[in-house]
Amino acid sequence: MLTRVNQVVMPRARRTRGRGARRTRFAGDLGRELERTTRAANLRLRERLRVVPRALLLFAGLGACGFAAYAFMNASAFHVKTVRITGAERVTTREIEAIIRGATPEGVLRADLRALRAELRRHPLIKDVEITRVLPDELRVHVRERAPVALVQQKGALVCVDEEGVIIGDFHLLGSRTLPLLVGWNEEGSDLAVAENQQRVALYLQLQKELSAPPLSYWDRVDQVNIRDLKNVTVNLTESPMTWIHLGDRDFRRRFELSLQILSAVKKQDAAELQRLGVAPTAELLQEDVTISYIDVSQPARVVVRLPEPRRAAAPTRPREARVLERRTRGRATSQPTRAR
């Protein structure tokens, strides 16, 4: 037999926490966080204290190494004992070695090769230099000198210049060599003057190259080379220094040979040859022992030949009595009063 049971479900009452419990739990959490922070800080401090001795040891080692390197570099074993010089012909090796030893008091290892190179290049005859350090006590120096290529006049003195137009010394540098004088040198120190002088040297060297070419060299027959005008190179000959030949600025050999043919025809009084060369055979040109002032072959199609201009006759000198009488007459005229009209 079944018995009926009535079951009533009642909701469970919620447990409420008081404020005191919450405060206790918060204080515990805060204490544990503070403990962890303190433990981490102590750990970092111990790590730093452990690194300090290592850093001190490292710095001490570096200092010792630096001191040892300084002492090593200044040791007597690195003092300059040997200087090997090559390429020097006009500059004496004794002069170069004196410059090197004076610029390297601290030895081979600490020598400033760039400063030493600049010091050597201040010498007027040294164009460039290569320096090699050979430990422990040797320096090897290869010198490239400036060579005289032309003779110019500077402040009344004859001096030599190199291919860059740099004055390198007096004419004694040529030794037994002879060079035609380069006339027209600009003695100003401006950039424009330097550039023009470099062009003059270039034209001078081009003229020398063309006139010296085989099979027949004419360079020895040139006495002076006038390059005042960069567009008109003018030369005179050793056998006829009064005759100037205008060559222009190119094709020097062909024009020079043309001028020699004209001079030869004038000397031989060959009218037909002069006409073939484009020169009118005038009576003045066909005279015996005629002197030619200049020949302009800068335009070979229109050759110009000039003779010296005749000297002007001096005015006749009047007698002394006539000059005295003229002064007296002039004095009387100025002393008389002028009448009013």
pLDDT tens digits for 214-268? Answer: 999 999 999 999 999 999 999 999 999 999 999 999 999 999 999 999 999 999 9
- Start-to-end CA span in the chain (Å): 188
- Owner of token pair 């479900």: 9
> Is residue 314, in this structure, part of any structural domain at all?
no
* Alpha-carbon torsion (240, 245, 250, 252), positive or negative: negative
Give me the CATH number covering residue 126. Answer: 3.10.20.310
* Same domain for 173 and 136: no
pLDDT band, residue 35 (cuts 50/70/90)? confident
Measured CA to CA, the distance from residue 130 to residue 113 in angstroms comes to 9
Give pLDDT tens digits for 67-91: 555 545 555 678 999 999 999 999 9
Of 290, 291, 295, 255, nearest to 279 by C-alpha is 295
* Same domain (yes/no): 155, 294: yes
User: What pLDDT shows up at residue 83?
Assistant: 96
| CATH code, domain with 182 | 3.40.50.11690
pLDDT tens for each residue of 269-278: 999 999 999 9
Q: Which of 97, 127, 145 is the last residue of a domain?
A: 145
Within this chain, do residues 82 and 186 fall inside the same structural domain, yes or no?
no
Residues 163 and 299 in one domain: yes
Yes or no: say if 108 and 78 are a contact pair by the CB < 8 Å rule.
Answer: yes
Domain of 227 in residue numbering reads as 150-306
**Residue 269: which residues within 8 A CB-CB, separation 6 or more?**
286, 287, 288
pLDDT band at 66 (very low <50, low <70, confident <90, very high): low
Are 165 and 267 found together in one domain?
A: yes
Same domain, 158 and 199: yes
Output phi, psi for 85, to 5 deg. Answer: -120, 130
Question: Looking at the predicted structure, is the pLDDT value of residue 99 above 60?
Answer: yes
Secondary structure element (H or E) that encloses residue 254, with its range: helix 252-268
pLDDT digits (tens, 9 = 90+) for 300-332: 999 999 998 776 544 455 555 545 445 544 444
Type of residue found at 1 = M
Strand partners of residue 157 = 154
Residue 332 domain flag: no
Q: What is the pLDDT of residue 111?
A: 93
Split into its structural domains, the chain has a count of 2
pTM value surpassing 0.75: no
- One domain, residues 200 and 220: yes
